[in-house]
Amino acid sequence: MVITLSELETSFEVLLQMLRQRGFEEADSGSWDYYWVVLLDDWIDLKNVPDVATGSLDDDIAELKKLAGPDPVPTSVDLDRLASVFRLLAEQYSRQPLK
């Protein structure tokens, strides 16, 4: 299956709008800093039990903020960082009562 960058961009915008409608204006790691990570080489290898590492939401957020500054140097790791922040938002969204 394929998703174009345009379709991904639209999905991203729709999801951000959904979060804003629910009152979200920021992603806050709060007391949830560390999390489990399945390493990139392992996450699609279903024949083996993956090795896990730990990630840090605080580090992810700090590094993503650098992309909004002057002369950003994005890397593939930043895509993983963004995914982690979206995972945080998904967790917080699912725990928030409907208004």
Give residue limits of the domains in the chain.
Answer: 28-95
Is 5:82 a contact under the CB 8 Å cutoff? no
The pLDDT of residue 40 is 76
**Is the full-model pTM beyond 0.95?**
no
Is 27:88 a contact under the CB 8 Å cutoff? yes
Between the two ends of the chain, the Cα-to-Cα distance in Å is 35
Per-residue pLDDT tens digits for 16-62: 999 999 999 999 998 899 999 998 788 899 999 999 999 999 999 99
Instruction: Supply the DSSP symbol for 71.
Output: S
